[in-house]
Amino acid sequence: MFSTQFLDLPPLDSASGTVRLPGSKSISNRVLLLAALCAGTTTVCDLLDSDDTRVMLDALRALGCGVRHHDAAVEITGLGGHPPASHARLFLGNAGTAMRPLTAALALMGGEFELSGVARMHERPIGDLVDALRQLGCDIQYTGVQGYPPLRVGRPALKLDAPIRVRGDVSSQFLTALLLALPLVARQDIVIEVVGELISKPYVEITLNLLARFGINVEREGWSKFTIRAGAAYRSPGEIHVEADASSASYFIALGAIASPPGQGMRLRIEGVGEDSIQGDIRFIEAARQMGATITGFANAIEVRRGAWPLKALDLDCNHIPDAAMTLAVMALYADGTTTLRNIASWRVKETDRLAAMWKELRKLGASVEIGADFIRVTPPVQWNAASIHTYDDHRIAMCFSLAAFNPARVAVRIEDPKCVAKTFPDYFETLFTVVQARAQDIPVICLDGPTASGKGTLAAELAHRLGYHYLDSGALYRVTAFAALRAGLELDASNESAIAAMAQTLPVRFIGGRVLLDEFDVTDAIRSEEGGMNASKVSVLPAVRTALVALQHSFARLPGLVADGRDMGTVIFPDAPLKVYLTASAAQRAQRRHKQLISKGIPATIDILRADLEARDARDMNRATAPLKPAQDALLLDNSGQSVEESVAQVFEWWVARQAIGKS
């Protein structure tokens, strides 16, 4: 998961391949609660691993449920109708799918409970649910602002003889919470009456479908009256599989509709959910088809490719796909006219006020946008702008705006706080980068060159981490090549030049957290030895090996970007890199650094000898015939003799940000 301050998306071109989606958040948290309310153990397969499900699992543990992770499944040992732990303080983050149903269940079972969340959760209304529960005699008190969490729940004096009235025009989660909890006390028929038009009906359909899987058949009259019959009781299905998230599928369906196909017959395949999904957001497929996408549905997969281009503008009532409709708002940027999305008032009470947020962020990109109480109207940009998208700690804003990177103006898009996707899809951006393609010249590369012991490796690794970019230690590649060749039984001489070069072309090497991995084996210490350095020198004089390693180094330039350190990154390997930095630390300062490192490892050393060795190495590197050590003509010089690593990273980071033509949020 990217945990950087921001993530810059370069211009993207095409998309193809296969995406396996994570489990549905809506299904996952419903299933977890239902399993907790049953007797015995329920095995939940393909559960979403995200912030929202983690807070639900933590809450269930605190209430006395057994929670056991077993391979890719989670086993929940339920309460079986028995009272939960009588005292608990539950922190539920920003998970409405945990806060609302847990409030209802605990209010009916009784005890002493406190339910709270992050600041935004305390701004999300819950008054209509509390009012409905109080009709039943539940004891619920607000400990902050009236109508909003946090809450304190006590012991009820239940009255079940009259119909329970709950508003349906604010959030369907209020009705869902009642439907999930009321079977606990169904000693007689219980009737729920919905006041006003029920929004987000597909989410209530999910609830009814899952209740049936757990033995509760709810009768309904339209969408206004629901009846739970006397004697209803939860029964565990034993094992239940969680569908992939249809809301998350919307981003990749849109991606397939927007991105140019890379070749004849190529398309984007989305696995884990099909057109027969129980999730309402699967109907996003219908809207995408209306806009021009070519979509083929399968039992548990969807294939998408671009059809009409530009996309077709539409005017759509989105009550049936409230979350996925956000994706349509970004697709509208690529349409042939103005798109209007209606009946989306629920956007205002989600993780943020999504209507206001979408209005502001779409305008940054150059779109004309109008919003009202329950609609948004989007007209594509006449001129696209590079923009820094503020995400409001809202996972869906971060994910849907990633699609703006396919803009025809080829301007970059910055996603602020990308880690907010952890709420439902922690690996969203990593998944995105496995199926999208960009032109080689559009993938950003930062080159850090300099003499031995100048600190370029530490600086480059820290900078890559801060930007979320890949990292290349070019010097280590020669050491790894020598190590791999010797492991394969090849002597490091000209007689094996072709074989070593062939091996170097596809060397499976990665640099992660300061470690060097070869075939998933950590070879850091082995290649950093004095012998490793000598072996690297032997392979570096073989022309075919050098050529092969140039190609390998180019392959490290992958989305979202690369930080490469070495001695010829800016002059030979990546001459067109948009930022090149050359470190100019003095030999005296570098000798002191090297001395400190060696002494810390218990290796005796003398500063004067180290300095002489470094000066001799500098002379050899500067005068070698192939790729001599020198700054690129357009490199920025950085004398880090008196700087800490943090100061050097901050300086290069500042230079990089200044070079990006991305507006401030």
- C-alpha R_g of the chain: 29
Give the model's pLDDT for residue 435: 97
In contact, 115 and 150? CB cutoff 8 Å: yes
Q: For residue 623, count other CB atoms closer than 10 A to its CB.
A: 9
Last residue of a domain, one of 208, 241, 274: 241
Is the pLDDT reported for residue 665 higher than 70? no
In this structure, the answer to whether residues 151 and 261 fall within a common structural domain is no
DSSP 602: T
Ligand-binding annotation for 489, yes or no, is no
Ligand-binding annotation for 14, yes or no, is no
Instruction: Determine which helix (DSSP H) or strand (DSSP E) holds 205, and give its type and residue range.
Output: helix 201-213
Structure tokens at 406: 């396919």
- Asked if the structure places residue 537 within a domain, the reply is no
Q: Looking at 16-116, which runs of residues are DSSP E strands?
A: 17-20, 41-45, 66-70, 73-77, 87-91, 112-116
- Asked if the structure places residue 396 within a domain, the reply is yes
Q: What are phi and psi of 76, to 5 degrees?
A: -110, 120
Give the model's pLDDT for residue 184: 94
The predicted-structure confidence for 154-193, as pLDDT tens digits, reads as follows 999 999 989 999 999 888 999 999 999 999 999 999 999 9
- Asked if the structure places residue 461 within a domain, the reply is yes
In contact, 285 and 302? CB cutoff 8 Å: yes
DSSP for 259-320 reads SBPSSTT--EEEES--TT-SSGGGGHHHHHHHHT-EEEE-SSEEEEE--SSSBPP-EEE-TT
In contact, 455 and 645? CB cutoff 8 Å: yes
In this structure, the answer to whether residues 349 and 289 fall within a common structural domain is yes
Is the pLDDT reported for residue 514 higher than 90? no
Residue 567 belongs to a domain with what CATH number? Answer: 3.40.50.300
Residue 281 belongs to a domain with what CATH number? Answer: 3.65.10.10
The predicted-structure confidence for 239-250, as pLDDT tens digits, reads as follows 999 999 999 999
Q: For residue 553, count other CB atoms closer than 10 A to its CB.
A: 20
The predicted-structure confidence for 495-509, as pLDDT tens digits, reads as follows 999 999 999 999 999
Give the model's pLDDT for residue 120: 93
> Which residues on adjacent β-strands are paired with residue 68?
75
Last residue of a domain, one of 218, 241, 264: 241
Ligand-binding annotation for 453, yes or no, is yes
Task: Map residue 4 onto helix, strand or coil.
Answer: coil
In this structure, the answer to whether residues 452 and 574 fall within a common structural domain is yes
Range of the domain at 222: 25-241
In this structure, the answer to whether residues 70 and 135 fall within a common structural domain is yes
Question: Band of the pLDDT at 596, cuts 50, 70, 90?
Answer: confident
- Asked if the structure places residue 500 within a domain, the reply is no
Can you give the pTM of this predicted structure?
Answer: 0.88
In this structure, the answer to whether residues 12 and 84 fall within a common structural domain is no
In contact, 220 and 240? CB cutoff 8 Å: no
Ligand-binding annotation for 450, yes or no, is yes
Ligand-binding annotation for 323, yes or no, is yes
- For residue 144, CA distances in Å to 3, 116, 119, 121, 149 come to 31, 10, 11, 12, 7
In this structure, the answer to whether residues 452 and 408 fall within a common structural domain is no
Q: How many domains does one find in the chain?
A: 3
Burial of 181 (0-12, 13-18, 19+ CB in 10 A): buried
Give the model's pLDDT for residue 663: 64
Ligand-binding annotation for 586, yes or no, is no
Instruction: Determine which helix (DSSP H) or strand (DSSP E) holds 437, and give its type and residue range.
Output: strand 436-437
**Which residues neighbour 265 within 8 Å (Cβ) at sequence distance 6 or greater?**
none
Residue type at 519?
A: D
Give the model's pLDDT for residue 27: 95
**What's the number of CA atoms in the CB half-sphere (13 Å) around residue 509?**
31
Give the model's pLDDT for residue 627: 74
Q: Looking at 66-205, which runs of residues are DSSP E strands?
A: 66-70, 73-77, 87-91, 112-116, 140-142, 151-153, 164-167, 190-195
In contact, 403 and 397? CB cutoff 8 Å: no
Dihedral sign of CA atoms 321, 422, 428, 655 in order? positive
In contact, 659 and 412? CB cutoff 8 Å: no
**Residue tagged active-site, from 52, 128, 323, 565:** 323
In terms of DSSP bridges, do strands 301-305 and 268-271 run parallel, antiparallel, or are they unpaired? antiparallel
In this structure, the answer to whether residues 51 and 185 fall within a common structural domain is yes
277: Cα separation from own chain's centroid: 23
Mean pLDDT of 205-216: 96
Is the pLDDT reported for residue 125 higher than 60? yes
Mean pLDDT of 570-591: 89
Is the pLDDT reported for residue 220 higher than 70? yes
- For residue 51, CA distances in Å to 22, 221, 505 come to 13, 36, 40
The predicted-structure confidence for 331-341, as pLDDT tens digits, reads as follows 999 999 999 99
Q: Reading across the β-sheet that carries 636-638, which strands appear in turn?
A: 470-473, 562-566, 445-449, 579-583, 636-638
Tell me the average pLDDT of the chain. Answer: 93
Give the model's pLDDT for residue 398: 98
Ligand-binding annotation for 580, yes or no, is no
In this structure, the answer to whether residues 45 and 91 fall within a common structural domain is yes
DSSP for 517-538 reads EETTEE-HHHHTSHHHHHHHHH
- Asked if the structure places residue 361 within a domain, the reply is yes
Ligand-binding annotation for 514, yes or no, is no
> Which residues on adjacent β-strands are paired with residue 113?
88, 153
Last residue of a domain, one of 213, 241, 269: 241
Lowest-confidence region among 61-65, 267-271, 443-447, 639-643: 639-643
Give the model's pLDDT for residue 80: 87
Give the model's pLDDT for residue 200: 87
Say whether 519 is catalytic: no
Structure tokens at 168: 């349906």
Ligand-binding annotation for 97, yes or no, is no
**Which residues neighbour 507 within 8 Å (Cβ) at sequence distance 6 or greater?**
477, 480, 481, 484, 518, 552
In terms of DSSP bridges, do strands 301-305 and 315-317 run parallel, antiparallel, or are they unpaired? unpaired
Is the pLDDT reported for residue 382 higher than 60? yes
Is the pLDDT reported for residue 614 higher than 80? no
- Asked if the structure places residue 530 within a domain, the reply is no
In this structure, the answer to whether residues 220 and 288 fall within a common structural domain is no
Ligand-binding annotation for 315, yes or no, is no
Is the pLDDT reported for residue 208 higher than 90? yes
- Asked if the structure places residue 581 within a domain, the reply is yes
Quote the CA–CA distance of 391 and 398 in Å, as a whole number.
6
In this structure, the answer to whether residues 373 and 460 fall within a common structural domain is no
Quote the CA–CA distance of 623 and 629 in Å, as a whole number.
8
Structure tokens at 578: 């948009």
Quote the CA–CA distance of 7 and 13 in Å, as a whole number.
18
Structure tokens at 496: 């094996």
Count the helices and strands in the chain (H runs, E runs): 21, 33
In this structure, the answer to whether residues 341 and 457 fall within a common structural domain is no
Ligand-binding annotation for 458, yes or no, is yes
Give the model's pLDDT for residue 81: 66
**Which residues neighbour 286 within 8 Å (Cβ) at sequence distance 6 or greater?**
none
In contact, 631 and 582? CB cutoff 8 Å: yes
In this structure, the answer to whether residues 224 and 366 fall within a common structural domain is no
How many degrees, rounded to 5, is the angle at CA 143 between CA 58 and CA 132?
80
Quote the CA–CA distance of 411 and 435 in Å, as a whole number.
20
- Asked if the structure places residue 399 within a domain, the reply is yes
The predicted-structure confidence for 272-302, as pLDDT tens digits, reads as follows 999 999 999 999 999 999 999 999 999 899 9
